[in-house]
Amino acid sequence: MTAAINRRSLLKSTAFGAAALASASWAGRARAAENLVVGVVYVGPRGDFGWSQSHATAVEALKKVPGVTVVEEENVPETLAVSNTMRSMIELDGAKLIFGASFGYFNPFMIDMAKQYPDVQFRHPTTLWSADKHPANLGGYFAYLDQAHYVDGVAAGLSSKTGKIGYIAAKPISLVLRNINSFMLGARLGNPNATVKLIFTGDWSLPVREAEAANALAGAGCDVVACHVDSPKVIVETLERRGVKSCGHNASQASLAPKGFITGAENKYETIYKGFAEALVKGEKLPNVAVGGYDKDMVTNTAYGAGATEEARRAADAAIAALKTGKPIFVGPINDNKGNVIVAAGSSLGNYAPELETTNYLVEGVEGSVT
């Protein structure tokens, strides 16, 4: 079951909002008694071909779980609007589990809501929750998408004819740098001479700059381009028009590039959404933090497109199989692109090594800078 209304409009009038909450609370309690009601709040449109869509895809699977009703609202800004939306989901619909799918929802909004509603579980797609700082009914989940970007790199390196690959990213923060480095290491697995020309746009969603970056990389001779921005839609469409192959991010962009799409790194939030809901239906306690990659079925790669060669598909499948067993991506010797040793020969960093959480470098082969 699912329901969606504009809760901000409903609660725009304080008087009307209070009356609505009072008159509808019985309905919410009745629904809650029958089903577990799960609320999901998106910062953007569900069909954005990116971040919000990665959550919406998971929600479609969640709706099929017996005993679960889903209520949703999209385009909710990182302001008090999100608190109003969550409050209405709780008071009007009887929600007992809330997923807030945007970084800026956590502090202060979800922290405050968790304090106000201690019998409701709140979960946020980060590892920001801390036992000594935050309410016990709040928590997080995180998909280590660098593992899927590594697979992207494997496929990209073997689908490129020139070995000149491009990468468009939003900001040089640790999470993004880790994805870029994993992609580079994957590309060199099958093509030791591959290079990655990097362009930062400066923010998560800047369609004009993203298009400019895609055109610049195409003009520089890159025949494959990957990315890490909120929604790669403009990037993938621009590359397709330029005859350049592409790798996606967050959700599937395969339909945007029927000729050049290779594969993409996707969050598999379905595992978390369904798992948490099923646990609550059974009366089980949720973990405050859940993290994982391929070994925990929390990431996936988009089905191969026409841009992926047969050799690339076989190698990418083998990489996925290895990741599921926990085989590390960062196996030495690895230097950064300034010549400093990152991982010595004979050593490796596990896929969840704490050192990777503070990545502040680009590995050898990446043409670009973090400053």
- Look at residue 12 in the predicted model and tell me its pLDDT: 43
Residue 15 banded pLDDT, cuts 50, 70, 90: very low
Q: 146-265+301-367 architecture in CATH?
A: 3-Layer(aba) Sandwich (3.40)
Q: 34-143 architecture in CATH?
A: 3-Layer(aba) Sandwich (3.40)
Tokens 């609550």 locate to 280
Q: How many CB atoms lie within 10 A of CB 215?
A: 15
Residue ranges matching CATH 3.40.50.2300 in the chain: 34-143, 146-265+301-367
Share of the chain above pLDDT 90, in %: 91
What is the token pair recorded at 271? 């595992």
Rounded to an integer, the average pLDDT of 278-288 is 96
pTM score of the predicted model: 0.91
Tens of pLDDT, residues 212-268: 999 999 999 999 999 999 999 999 999 999 999 999 999 999 999 999 999 999 999
Report the chain's mean pLDDT, rounded to a whole number.
93
Q: Residue 19 pLDDT > 80, yes or no?
A: no
What is the token pair recorded at 213? 């970056």
What is the token pair recorded at 91? 């008071």
Rounded to an integer, the average pLDDT of 305-310 is 98
Report the DSSP beta bridge partners of residue 301: 265
Q: Residue 25 pLDDT > 70, yes or no?
A: no
What is the token pair recorded at 10? 């409903």
Q: What is the rounded CA–CA span in Å between residue 60 and residue 294?
A: 21
Q: Is the peptide bond before 108 cis (omega within 30 degrees of 0)?
A: yes
Q: What is the rounded CA–CA span in Å between residue 77 and residue 75?
A: 6
Q: What is the rounded CA–CA span in Å between residue 349 and residue 331?
A: 7
> CA distances (Å), 141 to each of 99, 129, 179, 286, 364, in order?
10, 9, 18, 11, 31
- Look at residue 7 in the predicted model and tell me its pLDDT: 54
Higher pLDDT, 9 or 180: 180
Tens of pLDDT, residues 162-188: 999 999 999 999 999 999 999 999 999
Q: Where are the alpha helices (DSSP H) in 41-173?
A: 51-62, 80-93, 111-116, 146-159
- Look at residue 34 in the predicted model and tell me its pLDDT: 73
Mean pLDDT is lowest, of 4-8, 166-170, 178-182, 204-208, for 4-8
Residue 18 banded pLDDT, cuts 50, 70, 90: very low
- Look at residue 10 in the predicted model and tell me its pLDDT: 52
Q: Which residues contact 118 (CB under 8 A, 6 or more apart)?
A: 135, 137
- Look at residue 29 in the predicted model and tell me its pLDDT: 47
Rounded to an integer, the average pLDDT of 295-306 is 98
Q: What is the rounded CA–CA span in Å between residue 246 and residue 262?
A: 6
Q: How many CB atoms lie within 10 A of CB 12?
A: 11
Q: Where are the alpha helices (DSSP H) in the chain?
A: 7-10, 14-34, 51-62, 80-93, 111-116, 146-159, 174-190, 207-219, 233-242, 270-281, 310-324
Q: Count CA atoms closer than 13 A to 146's CA, side-chain side.
A: 24
